Amino acid sequence: MNVGKIPFLEAVNGSTVMLPCTYFSCIGIKNLYFSWSFNESGTMQKVCDSTIATEGVLPNVAIYRDRVTFIGMNRENNISIMLWNITFEDAGQYTCYGVNPKEKGKNHSAIFSLYVVEELKVVDKTLTIIIASCVGGAIALLMGFMLIKNFTLFVLAKLEEKNKECLVTSSGIDNTENGLSGSKADSKPTPKKK
């Protein structure tokens, strides 16, 4: 049995809420018995129950509490219930229970907590926004620094490559005009002045 990633709900007095519950069996089901119970001052009060004969069959659910509707769909392994017009007395723990005879009678359960409030609290998110902005700004600054650094290194590498080309070209010109180093250059006579 599974009641989802968040096994609790805070709801406003007078609203309608869904209490989620799903089941899973890798070997399939046969006469899966399930029930919902409410912990009322330490005593478990049955909310609803039924037996699902096989996969894909909608169960005939018996409901024992006012303002409760079964909304599960067996083909989706869903055995959720809906509570209508909730009151403060509806707050507490609800247990989704199931036993599959195909699993040698192994039973499973999941607890869902319902909190009923007069009105939902408005959460001040200023601190969260400030922290997120600072972290985002720091990451953006770091990325900007890395981009500038990489661009600078790229430009310096290109300039160094260009300087090497200039040195090779200029040394080639010197060797052509003056002869190769270590070779004897032809001496040209100095022009005479008249």
Task: Report the CATH number that the domain containing residue 50 is assigned in CATH.
Answer: 2.60.40.10
The reply to whether 33 falls in a domain is yes
Structural domain span for residue 127: 123-174
Contact 91, 115 (CB under 8 A): yes
Burial class (CB in 10 A: 0-12, 13-18, 19+), 187: exposed
Asked if residue 128 and residue 112 are part of one domain, the reply reads no
Asked if residue 154 and residue 98 are part of one domain, the reply reads no
**pLDDT grade for 79, boundaries at 50, 70 and 90:** very high
The candidate with the shortest Cα–Cα distance to 116, out of 97, 136, 93, is 93
Predicted pLDDT at 165: 67
Asked if residue 159 and residue 88 are part of one domain, the reply reads no
Asked if residue 85 and residue 134 are part of one domain, the reply reads no
Q: What is the residue-averaged pLDDT of the chain?
A: 83
Q: Which segment of 95-104, 154-163, 171-180 scores lowest on mean pLDDT? A: 171-180
The candidate with the shortest Cα–Cα distance to 86, out of 155, 192, 153, 11, is 11
- Tally the domains of the chain: 2
Asked if residue 112 and residue 127 are part of one domain, the reply reads no
